[in-house]
Amino acid sequence: MITDQEQLEELEFMETAHEYARNEKLWRSKTDYKAGEKASELDAKLWEMWSRSQWADRRTMAQSYNQFRLRLLYKSKTEA
């Protein structure tokens, strides 16, 4: 059973990931400096949220976060 708190944390994580991908796309496609700064802030927030869990050591967690971030950006890129 998932608690309400866990659901809220999952929702916050997904919203943050979506906002990060949107800002990263604006930064890379239109060189929007404000979006770049916001993307950096959101990346730090995502890492903090990701690293809350205690399922792995720091190295494994960093590797899994980097793979998550790359897949997030790949899936949200604009169509060529």
pLDDT tens-digit profile, the chain (80 residues): 778 988 898 899 999 999 999 999 998 888 889 999 999 999 999 999 888 876 678 888 888 899 999 898 888 775 43
36 to each of 22, 31, 40, 44, how far by Cα in Å?
10, 8, 6, 13
Question: What stretches of 31-79 show up as alpha helix (H) in DSSP?
Answer: 33-50, 58-75
Residue boundaries of the structural domains of the chain: 53-80
DSSP H helix total and E strand total for the chain: 3, 0
Calpha distance 27→43 (Å, rounded): 13
